[in-house]
Amino acid sequence: MQQKIVLIGGPGTGKTSVLNELIKRNFFCLPEISREVIKKAQKKGIDQLFLQNPLLFSEMLLEGREQQFIEASNNKSKVVFFDRGIPDVVAYLNYFKTPYPKIFTKKSNQYKYNKVFYFAPWKSIYTTDNERYESFKQAQKIDTFVKETYTSLQYTLINVPFISVEKRTDFIINSIL
């Protein structure tokens, strides 16, 4: 049976760095897609789609993450890693107090992950860029919504320690094998 593993946490906690290390170690990984959605919107002249139209942005993310889940299910890899999962969309909508249709919660319950690795806010590695505009304080607040969303869906969160990327990756691999 395939293990679907999701890496969660607020922005800038090191999830993507670990995912890139997992890729180097030949694991099948599906990247965070929000940056792709943001870049597409910026090419159309929309600087911050999530801030300007959070529901449209979230619908695009939900569709993309659902496609990733289906792609993973069709892959023969025994272990698949996701940089964020479907419930993250709900967490961000809750953070921004944006009403959303029930399909978001339905999809969060429909597509289940086997294990959830939680990356807590870590100030010394936090940076901003063109797609990550939140302050560290905002990132911490988003993080609380991400944790609440996954725990409300009955997931047990596995805390990833504050250590090097390589050691974080080793920790995750040792936790699943």
Boundaries of every domain in the chain? 3-176
Say how many C-beta atoms besides its own lie within 10 A of residue 62's C-beta. 21
Instruction: Give me the CATH code for the 3-176 domain, please.
Output: 3.40.50.300
Question: Taking Cα atoms as reference points, which of 8, 33, 5, 16 lies closest to residue 143?
Answer: 8
pTM of the entire predicted model: 0.90
Look up residue 150 and give its two tokens: 């996954």
Question: Taking Cα atoms as reference points, which of 153, 175, 158 lies closest to residue 8?
Answer: 158
pLDDT, one tens digit per residue, over 111-166 is 999 999 999 999 888 776 655 667 788 889 999 999 999 999 999 999 999 999 99
